[in-house]
Amino acid sequence: MGSGSAEKIAGAKDAPALAQKIASGIRAGEWDTPGDYHTWAEQWATESLLAARPAYAGIRFGVADNSGGKLRSIRIQLPAGYDTVAMPIAAERLAQAGYHLAELLNAIHWPDARAASPTP
């Protein structure tokens, strides 16, 4: 993916268009995470690894630039049709990330702000 990914997913460069595109792809109920919310990050990481397989299939890795003892870049060659395969996966993963964030925020037992602050 890289530069222009948001534009490729949303058809526009601006954040509201990307947010609208992501929201339109949310499938409530299908993405509910089971179990205790303390285990959700691990579940989501596993989902991401499985989703990455087709997205990274066929990518050829070339020479790495390790100048100065640090990894600076790695040359890659994307397979034909990469955007056709990877962009829908990226759009769905972004929508799932937003859904999961909301799910997590709703699951956390937040202290009551009114009870925590002193009365004037």
Give me the pLDDT at residue 81, please. 93
**String of DSSP letters for 37-51:** GGGHHHHHHHHHHHH
pLDDT at 117: 61
Residue 29 confidence (pLDDT):
83
Per-residue confidence (pLDDT) for residue 10, from 0 to 100: 73
Average confidence (pLDDT) per 10 residues, the chain, 120 residues: 67 77 80 94 95 93 94 95 91 90 91 68
Q: Are the C-beta atoms of residues 79 and 57 closer than 8 Å to each other? A: yes
Residues 103, 32 contacting (CB under 8 angstroms)? yes
